[in-house]
Amino acid sequence: MTSAQDPRPYPYLPDLQAQTVTGYLEELEAESVRGLERGGLVRVLRRVSSPNLREWAKLRGTVLLAPAVRAKIRQILKQGGDLRLNLGSGPVKIPGWIGLDGIGMRADLAWDLRRGVPFPENSVRAVFLEHVLEHFSFADGLALLTDCRRVLVPGGIIRVGVPDFGRYLESYAGDRRFVEDLRPRRPTTLLAVAEVALHHGHRSVWDAETLERVLTDAGFTEARQRPFGDSDLVPPPDSSYREPETVYAEARKPG
């Protein structure tokens, strides 16, 4: 079973061409601040403002929209039905799911996930996080998952996908083929592995064992690794372009 074939909505696992470490770091930095294609005005703003300033503005704008977002959520709840939340959705639209992300990410609801999940207790059937947890520290990630449990109905499903750092380490210690296939032409293989831990705004690293343990510690049951496209959620929400480097796990709220 596979998900819809999503086009790549933003640069992902860039194929860098630099021969020197200095050139490599310059290319990686350029990739990290390039962002989504938004038109001429945004390109001008990117040239005259720093990434930190733009990030501050996005976060501030997201916070200012919170009252309007909460009002919109009240309307969504009045409509009833099975609610499914795609947290940290970015611009990816999954039919039947409500996307939440910061302002400017084209999500259905602009929301800062550091403030938790803005839905009431026992109101949501499913929660999906794909390449989101690695942007949180382990402590903050555990807190977010615990809040996901709060909003889920008893027996509700959470599915989480993160970069499989454990597989990167196994490849690095082995034949290195997996690393070199996914992140080719880096000056050294170690620098390619380090990208998973130190770049892209990542603050934590994961493998299947850690993901299952954190889900269990967040209060979920039946936490276990699930292959890409193998899910109790129909159809599975996994993004096809994420498949090569992602480990998924699924769990349920005790019911």
Residue-wise pLDDT for 37-81, tens only, equals 555 544 544 555 566 666 767 777 888 989 999 999 999 999 989
Where are the chain's structural domains? 37-164+206-252
What is the per-residue pLDDT for 138? 97
| CA–CA gap between residue 212 and residue 208 (Å, rounded) | 6
Question: Beta-carbon neighbour count of residue 151 at 10 Å?
Answer: 21
107 φ, ψ (degrees, to nearest 5): -80, 165
CA dihedral 163, 69, 116, 37 (to 10 degrees): 20
What is the per-residue pLDDT for 9? 44
Cis bond leading into 235, ω under 30°? Answer: yes
Residue-wise pLDDT for 183-232, tens only, equals 988 999 999 999 999 998 899 999 999 999 999 999 999 999 999 999 99
| CA–CA gap between residue 108 and residue 91 (Å, rounded) | 9
| CA–CA gap between residue 16 and residue 184 (Å, rounded) | 7
What is the per-residue pLDDT for 100? 98
Residue for token pair 């130190």: 198
pTM above 0.75, yes or no: yes
Nearest to residue 155, comparing CAs of 215, 242, 221, 89? 221
Integer-rounded Cα Rg, in Å, for the chain is 19
**In CATH, which of 3.30.565.10, 3.30.420.140, 1.10.530.10, 3.40.50.150 is domain 37-164+206-252?**
3.40.50.150
3-state secondary structure of 125: strand
